[in-house]
Amino acid sequence: MTAVDFLAFTRGPLFDVALIIFIAGLAIRFVEILVLGRRRDFSEPRRGGFGSGLRTMFSRTLPETGTMKRAPTTVVAGWVFHIGFLVTLLLFVPHIEMFQAVLGFGWPGLPTPIIDFAGILAMVAMVVVLINRLRNPVMRFLSGFGDYLPWLLTFLPLITGWLVFHRLLLPYPAMLGLHILSVELLMILFPFTKLMHTFTAFLARYYTGAAFGRKGVQS
């Protein structure tokens, strides 16, 4: 298989398969969560649960003062990574064109130097987080394959995308094919790894806030 054939395969049939698995996996995971249900609360509500749930969704997004003092590296590097990754994913013009082909609509992008800088920041932040995890005895003891696999799945699209952007390491068609392949691997495994927290974290925060709010307790 030539590099051009490999690129055509990753952009065509393999991408369709990855997208189907990604959507089906998300649907299955959400169904699993929703069918668990919860026991009916017969107590009289002291406050509205819906508003408390929404407030908790947003308030828990910001780090608490105590967390910032205990683990500043994790908090700062985590924020830098998430912002850099989202900017790279959502505001790079070729990515926007891909979303437009799938969703039917697009949005304005950012200049490529900004995207390049955001990608580098995201990769540096990921390396910092990994080193911090490996150097911390407690975090290293608590970490396993399920923690390092999501890191690798997320890092590969960033590094291969950066190499494609700068036309390094391999000829452009081959490197672009590897980049797309790494994204498809991320899509396929996303619903079945801890990366699923991208969606479930907000559901958990809402549920916690709504449950506490009904009891009149601040979450």
* Confidence tier at 43 by pLDDT (50, 70, 90): low
* Confidence tier at 187 by pLDDT (50, 70, 90): very high
Measured torsion, CA atoms of residues 113, 117, 120, 121, in degrees rounded to the nearest 10 = -170
The count of other CB atoms within 10 Å of the CB of residue 105 is 8
Fold assignment, 3-214: Fumarate Reductase Cytochrome B subunit (1.20.950)
Average pLDDT of the residues in 36-45: 63
CA gap 208, 21 in Å, rounded: 30
Domain range summary for the chain, segments of one domain joined by +: 3-214
Q: Which amino acid is at 108?
A: P
Average pLDDT of the residues in 111-128: 96
**What pLDDT score was predicted for residue 74?**
85
**What pLDDT score was predicted for residue 189?**
95
Per the CB < 8 A criterion, the answer to whether 124 and 85 are in contact is no
Q: Rounded to 5 degrees, what angle do the CA atoms 129, 57, 69 make?
A: 40
pTM listed for this prediction: 0.84
Report DSSP state, residue 62: S
Nearest to 124 by CA among 176, 165, 79: 79
